[in-house]
């Protein structure tokens, strides 16, 4: 009870501001479209100064413009968003960008790619491309920004993993491996930088309607099968993933690190292929 009392009389928490990001600088890598664009808008709506980094310069600029137009809560201000063209597979470019950004309060890595083929049909070049963008890019980005966060004693890094890090299907070999690797990489980073106040977490979405899932959406049977597999019996919208990123960057999650936040509509919690009569 003594320890509980000591904690209770510690610093006061302003719960109304728990998710606010006013004055905080957050880079969203892969922010030009899909989930990344929605994360940019959500962070800006909560007051963050967002850097929209993407190889697609025009898309990054459009996302920054959309974020600037995003309304904030009554009595609060909308943050800012600035486009930053960036090739995350160019290590020198990443280091130079990190130097320009200065010390970040948050980094959200949403860049990713998938090539759906059975293992025997995969080429080595395709395998390397998936692993490079989904895993090595995070390695490069973390090495570029985490030391400065550690010097300040704070920071939050969020990586977009996938439910495929835990549950697979034919045709997902390289993608699933890269996302499982990302989860373990972020957990290791959490262990290494935790003593210096830097947090690392992953978000694991289920099926989300973005350009990355165009191949599935084009097949009505495939689309419907995926919709019926989760507890909510539908696909996610990209904006439904953005709140998880805001949470993990904000002070609402200051004791959350080394974790995976699953946002999959209950897919991994249920067996959606058969519903028995009870």
Question: Which pLDDT does position 1 carry in this prediction?
Answer: 46
Q: Is residue 153 part of a domain?
A: yes
Number of structural domains in the chain: 1
Q: Residues with catalytic annotation?
A: 175
The band of 274, judged by pLDDT with boundaries at 50, 70 and 90, is low
Whose structure tokens read 């000591």?
6
Q: What is the pLDDT of residues 56-67, one digit of tens each?
A: 999 999 999 999
Which of 32-36, 202-206, 216-220 comes out lowest in average pLDDT? Answer: 216-220
Cα Rg of the chain (Å, integer): 19
Which of 3-12, 51-60, 155-164, 216-225 comes out lowest in average pLDDT? Answer: 3-12
Give the pTM.
0.92
Q: Is residue 60 part of a domain?
A: yes
Sign of the dihedral through C-alpha 272, 232, 242, 156: negative
Q: Is residue 4 part of a domain?
A: no
Question: Which pLDDT does position 215 carry in this prediction?
Answer: 83
Q: Mean of the per-residue pLDDT values for the chain?
A: 93
d(CA 174, CA 242) in angstroms, rounded, equals 25
Q: Is residue 274 part of a domain?
A: no
Q: Domain of 25: which CATH number?
A: 3.40.50.720
Judge whether residue 8 has pLDDT over 90.
no
């Amino acid at each position: 009870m003594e320890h509980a009392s000591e904690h209770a009389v510690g610093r006061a928490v302003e719960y109304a501001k728990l998710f606010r990001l006013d004055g905080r600088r957050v880079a969203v890598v892969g922010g030009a479209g899909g989930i990344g664009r929605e994360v940019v808008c959500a962070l800006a709506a909560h007051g963050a100064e967002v850097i929209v980094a993407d190889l697609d310069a025009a898309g990054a600029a459009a996302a920054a413009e959309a974020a600037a137009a995003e309304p904030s809560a009554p009595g609060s201000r909308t943050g800012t968003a600035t486009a930053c063209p960036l090739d995350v597979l160019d290590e020198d470019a990443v280091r130079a960008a990190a130097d320009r950004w200065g010390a970040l309060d948050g980094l959200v890595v949403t860049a990713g790619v998938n090539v759906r083929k059975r293992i025997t049909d995969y080429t080595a070049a395709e395998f390397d491309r998936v692993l490079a963008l989904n895993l090595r890019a995070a390695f490069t980005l973390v090495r570029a920004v985490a030391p400065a966060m550690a010097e300040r004693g704070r920071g939050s890094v969020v990586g977009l993993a996938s439910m495929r890090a835990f549950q697979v299907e034919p045709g997902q070999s390289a993608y699933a491996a890269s996302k499982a690797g990302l989860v373990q990489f972020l957990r290791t980073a959490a262990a290494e930088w935790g003593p210096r106040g830097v947090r690392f977490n992953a978000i694991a979405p289920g099926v989300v309607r973005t350009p990355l899932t165009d191949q599935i959406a084009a097949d009505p049977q495939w689309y419907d099968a995926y919709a019926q597999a989760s507890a909510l019996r539908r696909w996610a919208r990209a904006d439904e993933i953005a709140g998880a990123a805001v949470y993990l960057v904000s002070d609402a999650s200051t004791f959350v690190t080394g974790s995976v936040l699953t946002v999959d509509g209950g897919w991994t919690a249920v067996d959606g292929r058969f519903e028995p009569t009870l």
